[in-house]
Structure 1
């Protein structure tokens, strides 16, 4: 884990040095460090948003709710996590129009609503970022522990080191570059799992085989709260309850996370 993190951090630092040497993109000013001079293109912004919204829970929890509620689980998980990004696009556009030189959305809150509202939102954002960071670290550490047997507490402390190093050197531009790499890696993993499950797996290998096994599973272990106990129905009471909880919680984790506003500001 330490070796991989070090190699990845060195790679990002090397890329930052190359950008400085050959393209003149330095990070020697606070403006460049925090906003990338507000000239990041659409492709990097889009991949960065995808990477930021792809948590450990995106692949892990969506799978667990599929086991618990059937196909309604991952559907409601995805539905409850896309509305916020669509609505946030409107907020991001207005932020760029009305406060083109802002560095954080808390600056805008202070300028528009005053000191009291500013303090309240600082507390909300702090709690949100602590929650999000804890979720990411514990989820990823659990995966590392399952794959390698590494101590979970040690993984929680060591995982952020590489990110801290390349961010200190390259600023927000370095995070955009790593987000692009993360997005490519996630897409490759998803495609690998999909093709393995539905095409090449000796256990499954086809959509019809998966369907037959799910029908058989609903007869052996019917899902409580689903129509006829089926894994293949959208009529799921627990799935609907999960959707409501998911969509409400995700509004907070998007609109109170300054990381998303930073991406809008850097565009």
Structure 2
């Protein structure tokens, strides 16, 4: 099976994570407030928000499933898989409008739950989010490690470490704003993979 050299993979990863880090430096405000770091001061527009949501929704497990269905059923497999996923994203919008009515000054889903159901429900949500985030991190880091180990002589552990350090570096730099803008960059990369690389392979 064809593999890239270790140097090529390291350069590609440095280009991707270095680019996202530089992007986060460019968009960082000089005097970042707590609100700016945590929720970008509510200044994320519809387009960037939709791109971030899409990139977040299409995570490693989705790509696994789409690739598997494409291998088994041909082109119709990933199209049907992706269509229903896209439809679910559209259904989120009415709920978002309702959330705005219930907690107009709320920044997070936790604040909405607190306003609607109290602190006990907010704590349950926090624990649920923590467990879900840990599972998501494990799946995505596993995908990163697997890709690096399959496409290069580097080990699985090396890929996981590079992905972890890369994501942490730009998140700590500019918080939520950096996450949204890098999500947009990742969405462009996902589209390039879906449109160019996968059909070529």
- Give me the TM-score of the superposition, normalised by structure 1: 0.62
> Which SS does the other structure have where 2:137 is aligned?
helix
Partner of 2:62: 58
Please say which structure displays the higher CA radius of gyration.
1
Call closer, same or farther: CA 1:97–1:27 in 2, change over 3 Å.
farther
Confirm or deny that 1:119 pairs with 2:138. no
Distance 2:59 2:47 in 1: 20
Inter-partner Cα distance in structure 1 for 2:95 and 2:137:
23
Aligned in 2, Cα 1:76/1:18: closer, same or farther, shift over 3 Å?
A: closer
Unaligned runs of 5+ in 1: 198-267
The Cα RMSD (Å) is 2.7
140-149 or 50-59, which deviates more = 50-59
- Say if 2:81 is the partner of 1:77: yes
Aligned partner of 1:39 in structure 2 is: 43
Asked if residue 150 in structure 1 is aligned to residue 154 in structure 2, the reply is: yes
TM-score (norm 2): 0.80
Matched ranges for 1:183-222 at <5 A: 183-193=187-197, 196=200
Q: Is the 8 A contact 1:137 1:159 kept in 2?
A: yes
The equivalent of 1:167 in structure 2 is: 171
SS in 2 for 1:82: helix
The size of the alignment, in residue pairs, is 193
Deviations 1:238-259 (A, max 9, x none): xxxxxxxxxxxxxxxxxxxxxx
Cα distance change of structure 1 residues 11 and 78 upon mapping to structure 2, 3 Å threshold: closer
Structure 2: stretches of 5+ with no match in the other structure: 1-8
